[in-house]
Structure formats: structure tokens, C-alpha cells
Structure 1
């Protein structure tokens, strides 16, 4: 399925202003805001965290499937899709993130 179709299957993110990824040291490694151009990534990460309890290797692998054609583009163009690059790094390193949801 295409990314747009996959997004329709994910839970709503209307209640979220952002999602923070917390590294092993307890620091905020990244924040994904609920705004145009980022809302799709927020929806993916939110769904992955709800299912897996964190962004771990299993979640990252599933995320790459959800991102569909964007994953192919990210592999061909490193840096173009930082939220996909992050999932690739989780798989490569085995180091994931805990997730903090930021309500509206």
C-alpha cells in the first residue's frame, strides 16, 4: 500500500501537539510536531509507540513498511527524510527511543 493509504489506517493524532523521542540518557533526541509536513510522521511514530511501547527495532521495521514509497526515497536520498533515517538508524544500531506524548 502507498503511504497515504497506510496513514488512513492509523489512529488520530488530533489530541497531540507533538511527540518527543527520549534517548537512553533521558535527553530529548528529537521532537515531531503536529504541523503540515510532519503530521504523517507524527501519526506513524504515535502508532508505533502505542503498539510497541517504544521506538525499538521491531517498531522501526514496521515503520519502514508504513512509510512505503518514502522509505525507498529515503534509502536513495539520505537526509531527505530525517524521520525515516532515524528508523533506519534504530535498526542499524539497535538503540531505540522511549516516547513522550505532548498533548494539545
Structure 2
């Protein structure tokens, strides 16, 4: 399934302004905003957090890479082009989980 089709199947995020990704020390390591160019990633990360108890675990990251479909291959070919996918690539190989904090719209 391609990325656009997957997005249509995931819950809407119109109620969110952003997601903050927090490390074990509750430090914000990344923010994904609900704005053009990031909305798809916001949808993916929000759905993963909902499935994995509010966190992005290595298993959640691996699933997210499947959901990004054709964009995952592009991210692997061009590191830095897709930072939200690059993050999942690194996290899928690790053991750390990152908590997700929502920011209401």
C-alpha cells in the first residue's frame, strides 16, 4: 500500500497543533507540527503513539517505516531528505522508546 492510501486509513489529526517527541529524561528531541510538509508525519506518529501506549518504541518505528512505504526507500537512498523517516530508521534499530506529547490545536 502506498503512503497516500495509508494516510487515508489512519485517524485524523485536525485536533492537534503538534506532537513533541520526548526522550527518557523528558527532553524534547523533536517536534512535528500540523503544517504543510509535516502533516503526513504527524498523522503517522500520532497513530503509532495511539497503538503503542503513547510512545514510539522500536517496534512502532518499524511499523512506521512500513507505513511510509515508498518514502522509506527514498529516505534510505537520500539520508537527511526525510528527517521524520530518518528518525524512525534509527529508532527501529535501537532499544530506546520515545514518549509522545500532544499539543492541542
TM interval, shorter chain, is over 0.9
Q: For residue 35 of structure 2, what is the aligned residue in structure 1?
A: 35
Pairing 1:3–2:18 present? no
| 1:92 CA drift (Å) | 2.0
Q: For residue 50 of structure 2, what is the aligned residue in structure 1?
A: 50
What are structure 1's unaligned runs of at least 5 residues? none
> In the TM superposition, what are the counterparts of 1:1-104 in structure 2 within 5 Å?
1-53=1-53, 54-104=55-105
**SS at structure 2 position matched to 1:73:** helix
| 1:61 CA drift (Å) | 0.6
RMSD over aligned CA atoms reads 0.6
CA separation in 2, counterparts of 1:96 and 1:16? 22
Q: Which structure 1 residue ranges, 4+ long, deviate > 4 Å from structure 2?
A: none
CA separation in 1, counterparts of 2:59 and 2:23? 17
| 1:58 CA drift (Å) | 0.8
CA separation in 1, counterparts of 2:80 and 2:93? 16
Which stretch shows the higher mean deviation, 74-83 or 88-97? 88-97
What are structure 2's unaligned runs of at least 5 residues? none
TM-score, normalisation: structure 1? 0.97
